Structure 1
Amino acid sequence: MKVFFLATSLILCGFASIAQVKKTNNSTSSSIGFSIKGKINGIGNSELYLAHYFGSTQQVIKDTAQADAQGNFVFQGKDELPKGLYLISFSKNRYLDVIIGNTNFSFETDTLDPINHMKFQNSAENEAFFGFQREMGKRYVELRKLEMEKKDPVQIASIRKEIIQYQQSWFEKNKLLFVSKLVRATFEPEIPPFKKKVSTPKDSTEFYQYQFSYYKKHFFDNLDLNDERFIRTPFLQKKIEKYFEDLVVQQPDSIIKDADLLMSKIKNKEVRRYVIYKIASTYETSNIVGTDAAFAHMGEKYYVGEASLWDTTTVRQMRDRIKVLKPLLIGKRIPELLLTDPSGKRLTTASIPGEYTLVYFYDPECSHCKEETPKLMAQANYFKSKKISVLATSIARNKKQWTDFIKEYKMESIYNGIDIHPSAKSGKEEYYTDFLRTFDIYSTPIIYILDKNKRIIGKKIPTDKIQDFISFYENRQKELGIK
């Protein structure tokens, strides 16, 4: 594939300074922002690092420490640590999750059973956190044993009831601590019983619709969307991803509606920035046709429209990106192509007949184009049966390479064009089209599929998926009653 421009991840620059992995030097200053003393028996003379989560896929290193022969170490620095869920990595693929609220505490444990042997001093958050893990771990071991042994269902139900009672008591006892919010965020919304008796297929449909609707509406109830500490946990990212992957119809209107509804609930500036970034980045790079309209919406409404949240470079780049994308969204009439065909005559998109038009942008020197073009031409009979006209457009302005490419790949049966035009005044060659800015051609080959009115119905479709896409499109039109 020949790549001309890196068109993805523009919005990431708004978070670049936050999400970078960085190391905070230990401070010898008398001003201490954090001091975490630890002892892990069994890790003598090892290096450890302290990092906070940034969503579920990144960690930001804040400090490193060297354990002595007895496993003693200190994380220490003059700057305050941002609050949230951290991890302490103490050996290969082994780590402890700890909550950073109070930044001056100590703990001791060992490598044999870090959770059950953990003891904290001066950290109510972590005492409650590890106490919950110990108690729940013990109770679930007991429950799983009974279930595997297929013991008395009444006994199993009793254990389950005890677990619920313990959780309720624990939440009440620790309701003022962040750990209470953190644990609650892992719970799914509880769906109330369906009030109607299910006795017919129609009742079943209503039952499942009720469950889905309630679950979706209350999906974020257990997560405080205005507590920025959740940015530094895995749970906010996982919730957003699950919501948009599993509960939102992957069509632009649905994505936009649900994104706006979610954003209406978020007032905290940092959480707002993070959620905007997550949704926009998802649909900037999505492989689902048409969802870039959701990206354009997020960019226009929440980047350009809320410019104070971002740096000026991010806003400018987003504005430029939207300017390219909006005319190319599904349903838009494709910008007119003004080309010259091999005989020297003018060739335009509008002049090409057919129920569909397939615009194939390529570069004669592109190795991937040389692989894909034979696959395109092998579908000639299919194109004819569906009244699909193919317009192959060279984005490189070299006549010999262009004509040689047409001859080598036997493309004479389709429409061929190049952006070279002799000037009527000077006789010199003129170029009309900025392929990057007008058609978002940052790599080749790229395919646009148009309906008979030259409106975009598909774009960036792989060559071997053209027929599948046409079938999907026609079936969808039938479902909607559109001829």
Structure 2
Amino acid sequence: MKKGFIGRWFMTALLLGVCLSASAQGYRIEATLKGLKDTSCILGHYSYSNKQFFSKDTARVDASGRMVFEGNTPLPGGLYLVLLPGQRRWVELVYSGKETHFSFEADTAEIVKSMVIKGSKENEVFYTYQNELRRIMEGGGADAQKQFMDYQKGFLKEQAGTFTSKLLKASLEPEIPTAPKLPNGKSDSTWVFNYYKAHYWDGFDFTDDRLLRTPFIQPKLERYFKDLVVQVPDSIIKDVDALIKKAAPNKDMKSYLIYYITSEYENAKVVGTEGVFVHMAEKYYLTGEMEVSADARRRIGERVASMKPLLVDKIIPNLTLSDPEKKPVSIHGIKADYTVLFFYSPTCGHCKEAAPKLKEFYEKNKATGVKVLAIATDQSPEDWKQYVSTYKLGDLLHGYDYNFRTDYRTQFDVFSTPTIYVLDKNKKIIARRMPIEQLDDFYNFYRKSHAASSTAAPKKTASAGSKSSK
């Protein structure tokens, strides 16, 4: 995940131990692993991203395969790993934060099957569950799936008070009842979708921050917001605030959800959803509900101030520049059904790669009423003119600020180049930060959809007092 300022801040706070709390006691985990000797192993836990691992301790393995992880610093609860040499194999451990002193023995050739736990009911339950599932699946048979489901349901009921059962629930999919039938006899797929979404988080305890240190939360969040939430700001914001409300009793979980959503939409993957970032910043960061330093809050405020006037559906601020003949050219002065603004740096490698694609887009679509204003944000007039000449962009409109008075970062949110905006005939923003590779597809989809909706609009009928023509 590409991290903006919010992401960088949170990860720094995380590594410094600012955000997450733990129980106030030390730990001692003794291990004996057959097949290892005279080497080292690493103890750590899953991070919020299932692609990351946070190391907490290292232990030396003696000639008999014995090692001890021990410390006075408390370990936060979660799903832990003991990484074996080479870091391609590991032992999973359930660390509840309550059972802080325990031991285990296993053969590295068959870790799950050979596991023996002492002093930890959680891990006894965890490995009993894994071994029973292995036995059912190895047994095969037509009813293996039913045996699996029956055992799982019984296990969850019997072990309801354990952290292990909470881990399992957090990973499960909603069980969907039989859907009602439509008049045509088919199952109601809309009902199925709505039920699935409504029950997606049923098994996830947002009040337990130990689930942050498992491989479950980030993939579940990614799937939820990618596949189940309509990608428009109002829908996203509604679901975001509802999840954060669920997590409100737990400061760490709440902080993570706020961080995750804010960082995702600071660099939005879906065009037009940057308004979610503005909402998160204004509601949680700038109010002080999300604790950050005064400097961080100031920087977030500056980012919001830059982005807010430039969100989709806003009229873009006007800007008057000079064309290559030093004649004035302004955004609002362009007469076109659609206007594409292409902010670029003449010496930027990505901008050079984008130039042929921009030219191709314009040549293909100029007959549809679109114009392109290419705005050089820096470098010299000579570099600017050389760029236009080299890539044969003379048919486009061009703008340059000879007086260097325009702050493109704060006035047009140009933090990297190229940055592309698409405007309608009223200079309302219909897309921002559009990748050049997606410009043609987006433009034609939007233009055709808009034309179709206009054509489909009902015609006005004569009013009751008007005269009808004969």
Query: TM-score if structure 2 supplies the norm length?
Result: 0.88
Residue 27 of structure 2 is aligned with which of 27, 31, 34? 34
**Could you tell me which amino acid in structure 2 is paired with residue 37 of structure 1?**
E
1:243-268 CA deviation, whole Å, 9 max, x = no partner?
Answer: 11211122222211211222222211
- Kept in 2: contact 1:334–1:455 (CA 8 A): yes
Q: Taking structure 1 as reference, are residues 408 and 308 closer, same or farther at Cα in structure 2, changes over 3 Å only?
A: closer
**Equivalent of residue 103 in structure 1, options 95, 100, 103:** 100
Partner of 2:348: 366
Q: What's the offset of the Cα at 1:466?
A: 2.6
Q: Could you tell me whether the CA contact under 8 Å between 1:357 and 1:454 is conserved in 2?
A: yes
Contact 2:337-2:424 at 8 Å conserved across structures? yes
The reply on whether 1:16 has 2:1 as its aligned counterpart is no
Match of 2:129 in 1: 132
Once the two structures are overlaid, the 10-residue window that deviates more, 130-139 or 356-365, is 356-365
Residue correspondence of structure 1 range 219-368 to structure 2 within 5 A: 219-267=200-248, 268-368=250-350
Indicate conservation of the 8 Å contact 1:40/1:111, yes or no: yes
Question: Judging changes above 3 Å, is the alpha-carbon distance between structure 1 residues 105 and 438 closer, same or farther for their aligned structure 2 residues?
Answer: same
Tell me, yes or no, if the aligned pair for 1:44 and 1:70 is still in contact at 8 Å. yes
Task: Give the CA deviation at 1:410.
Answer: 3.3
After superposition, the Cα gap between the structure-2 partners of 1:375 and 1:84, relative to the gap in structure 1 and judged at 3 Å, is: closer
SS at match of 2:36: coil
Per-residue deviation at 1:352?
A: 1.0
Matched residue, 2:391: 409
Cα pair distance change 1:176/1:367, threshold 3 Å: closer
Letter in 1 for 2:151: Y
Q: Distance in 2 between matches of 1:377 and 1:43?
A: 62
| Structure 1 position 53, deviation (Å) | 1.3
The answer to whether residue 41 in structure 2 is matched with residue 68 in structure 1 is no
1:63-117 CA-partner distances (Å, limit 9, x unpaired): 0011011100000111111111111112320001101121111111111111111
Closer, same or farther in 2 for the Cα pair 1:188/1:471, shift >3 Å? same
Shift of the alpha carbon at 1:190?
1.6
Q: CA RMSD in A?
A: 2.4
Cα contact 1:54–1:231 (8 A) shared by 2? yes
Q: How many residues align?
A: 444
The Cα offsets for residues 276-329 of structure 1, whole Å up to 9 and x where unpaired, read as 112222222333211212222222222223445333333222222111111111
Question: In the alignment, is the contact (CA less than 8 A) between 2:44 and 2:54 conserved in 1?
Answer: yes
Q: Cα deviations across residues 338-373 of structure 1 (Å, max 9, x unaligned)?
A: 212223332211111111111111222223323322
Name the CA shift for 1:199/1:456 in 2 (closer, same or farther; >3 Å). closer
Identity rate of aligned residues, in percent?
A: 37
1:78 pairs, out of 68, 72, 76, with 72
Corresponding position of 2:172:
187
Q: Measure, in 1, the Cα distance between the counterparts of 2:435 and 2:337.
A: 20
8 Å CA contact 1:364–1:402 kept in 2: the answer is yes
Q: CA offset at residue 161 of structure 1?
A: 4.4
1:443 to 396, 416, 432: 416
Residue 97 of structure 1 aligns to which amino acid in structure 2?
A: E
Q: How does 1:458-477 map to 2 (within 5 A)?
A: 458-477=431-450
Is the Cα–Cα contact under 8 Å of residues 6 and 259 in structure 2 kept in the other structure? no
Assess if the C-alpha contact under 8 Å between 1:362 and 1:394 holds in 2.
yes
Distance 1:121 1:358, change over 3 A: same
| Separation of aligned partners in 1, 2:110 and 2:350 | 54
Query: TM-score under structure 1 normalisation?
Result: 0.86
Matches within 5 A, 1:374-385: 374-385=356-367
User: How far apart, in 1, do the equivalents of 2:411 and 2:72 lie?
Assistant: 51
Separation of aligned partners in 2, 1:409 and 1:338: 24
- Residue 439 of structure 1 deviates from its aligned partner by 1.3
Question: In 2 relative to 1, CA 379–170 (structure 1 residues): closer, same or farther, beyond 3 Å?
Answer: closer
Q: Please report how far the alpha carbon of residue 478 of structure 1 lies from its aligned counterpart in structure 2 after TM superposition.
A: 4.7
* Equivalent-residue separation in structure 2 for 1:468 and 1:386 (angstroms): 14
Give the 3-state SS of the residue equivalent to 2:247 in structure 1.
coil
Q: Unaligned stretches of 5+ in structure 1?
A: 1-5, 22-30, 148-155, 421-429
Structure 2 match to 1:433: 406
- 1:121 equivalent in alignment to 2:115: no
Using the alignment, how far apart are the partners of 2:156 and 2:117 within structure 1?
Answer: 20
Asked whether the equivalents of residues 7 and 442 of structure 1 are also in contact (C-alpha less than 8 Å), the reply is no
Residues 135-177 of structure 1: per-residue CA shift (max 9 Å, x gap): 111112213xx24xxxxxxxx2xx5444444333322332221
Q: How far apart, in 1, do the equivalents of 2:357 and 2:196 lie?
A: 45
Tell me the residue number matched to 1:174: 159
- Cα deviation for residue 14 of structure 1 reads 2.4
Distance 2:343 2:290 in 1: 38
The 8 Å contact of residues 284 and 290 in structure 2, kept in 1 or not, is answered as: no
Q: What is the alpha-carbon distance in structure 1 between the residues aligned to residue 314 and residue 383 of structure 2? A: 32
CA distance 1:60–1:354, change in 2 (3 Å): same
Would you say the 8 A contact 1:11–1:314 is kept in 2? no
CA distance in 2, matches of 1:380, 1:480: 24
- Whether contact under 8 Å (1:11, 1:318) holds in the other structure is no
* SS across alignment from 1:302: helix
The one-letter amino acid of 1:264's match is K
Aligned to 2:429: 456
Gaps of 5+ in 2: 18-23, 458-470
Three-state SS of the structure 1 residue aligned to 2:84 is strand
Partner of 1:90: 84
165-174 or 349-358, larger mean C-alpha shift? 165-174
305-314 vs 259-268, greater mean Cα deviation: 305-314
State how far apart, in whole Å, the 2-side matches of 1:246 and 1:264 are.
Answer: 21
Q: In structure 1, what is the Cα distance between the partners aligned to 2:347 and 2:146?
A: 69
> Corresponding residue for 1:28?
none
Q: Match for 2:58: what amino acid?
A: T
Larger RCO: Structure 1 or Structure 2 (Cα < 8 Å, ≥ 6 residues apart)? 1
Distance 1:113 1:20 in 2: 37
